[in-house]
Amino acid sequence: MSVRPYRDIHRRACRQIYVGKVPVGGDAPITVQSMTNTVTHDVKATVEQIQALERAGADIVRVSCPDQESALALKDIVRQVEVPIVADIHFHYKRAIEAAESGAACLRINPGNIGSAERVREVIKAAKDHGCSMRIGVNAGSLERDLLEKYGEPCPEAMVESALNHAKILEDNDFLEFKISCKASDVFLAVAAYQQLAEACDYPLHLGLTEAGLGSKGIVASTAALSILLSEGIGDTIRVSLTPRPGGDRTEEVNVAQQILQSLGLRNFAPQVTACPGCGRTTSSFFQHMAEDIQTYLRDQMPVWKRAHPGVETMNVAVMGCVVNGPGESKHANLGISLPGTFEEPKAPVYVDGKLFTTLKGDRIVQEFLVILEDYVARTYPTPSPALAGAAG
């Protein structure tokens, strides 16, 4: 489906840097990041979590390096994973040096606690020597004391000044391979800081709402902040920071970030499913099962489809439950199926690229629709020939 003019988002022009082999900024796709919550020097647990994030679609993963054991463990971690690793550094500048030596692709430093300009210069030298990029990570909760005295409290102006002061140190040392973040837990504070920072510099910006919270609160707050900025063309790489539930799965961060980007038309990760919320016209449990079965099938097929059918992630599928909006939504999707109310014998019109294709009846509607779906994917997103696939690689 084509992108309509009212959905066009013009990305802010900025420099491009690399985090390992992943481009950030410029005309590169907006990347999705997450962060492990394992003890980093537990190499097995950390690698397993990074690999789970890789499978979920994370482009970059950050790990904490609070001690020497963790920084040195990166040597064993980076050789077992595909995504570039960002070393998260606080307080101890030597950890940044050790992480660079251990193979980190990027060093995240916090200007409020990394130490003197001389220590930052030592970190810069290590980054240059080992091909690391850097992220200046400003947080509202850990601003430098002199800025808090100057402004009285965390505010956008203080956060931007902190970021630009430390950017100047990197620039003065001929180091330009860095991106900047200005995070806060308050939506309006974070948005204002990023808006001002976007006007003040041309470096790539890493977006995030820090300490966003647990569950739906964290998802909604992050979505509110990131959607404002992304819709204005601000942001080159993002993380949705969610408080994990006990035994929780970190891949939720990746899934939410991807959905934000896809909902704004900025990047496609998987076929988009349009499904009605249900009401008194869709009391049939048949519709509820149909919507769930089709969504599950699409999710399960994506690992195979992405390899075999490039472009399938742009497909839109409508699964609707009644005659009010069902036909219209189905016609605007690549594939659409709609149940016209609650009948003893369910029947469902199927639309393909806006035209009525067939009407399915009986208790095998879902299975028959999935056959049509598979055939559509095979015809519309053909598998590249081995010669073309080799040339692309």
Buried b / exposed e over 326-349, threshold 16 CB at 10 Å, is bbebbbebbbbbbbbbbeeebebb
Supply 355's token pair.
Answer: 């035209």
DSSP 187-201: HHHHHHHHHHHHHH-
Convert the pLDDT of each residue in 207-241 to its tens digit: 999 876 678 888 999 999 999 999 999 999 999 99
Convert the pLDDT of each residue in 334-380 to its tens digit: 998 887 655 556 778 899 998 999 999 888 888 999 999 999 999 99
Asked if residue 241 lies in contact with residue 212, where contact means CB atoms within 8 angstroms, the answer is yes
HSE (CB half, 13 Å, CA atoms) of 388? 6
Give every CB contact of residue 13 below 8 A, 6+ residues apart in sequence: 202
Residue 72, helix vs strand vs coil: helix
Radius of gyration from C-alpha coordinates of the chain: 24
Sign of CA pseudo-dihedral 174, 17, 6, 195 = negative
For residue 136, the model assigns a pLDDT of 94
Compute how many other C-beta atoms are within 10 angstroms of the C-beta atom of residue 132.
Answer: 28
Pairing of strands 85-89, 106-109: parallel
Asked if residue 204 lies in contact with residue 15, where contact means CB atoms within 8 angstroms, the answer is yes
> Where do we find the tokens 């692709």?
105
Is the predicted pLDDT of residue 30 greater than 60, yes or no?
yes
Rounded distance between C-alpha atoms, residue 190 and residue 155, angstroms: 9
Rounded distance between C-alpha atoms, residue 199 and residue 180, angstroms: 13
Convert the pLDDT of each residue in 151-180 to its tens digit: 999 999 999 999 999 899 899 999 999 999
For residue 211, the model assigns a pLDDT of 74
Give CA separation, 86 vs 18, 22, 31, 185, in Å: 12, 12, 13, 22
Look up the pTM and report it: 0.87
Per residue, the 3-state secondary structure of 136-198, as one string, reads EEEEHHHCCHHHHHHHCCCCHHHHHHHHHHHHHHHHHCCCCCEEEEEECCCHHHHHHHHHHHH
For residue 331, the model assigns a pLDDT of 81
Spell out the domains of the chain, with CATH numbers in brackets: 11-263 (3.20.20.20), 272-392 (3.30.413.10)
Residue 61, helix vs strand vs coil: strand
H or E element in which residue 91 lies: none
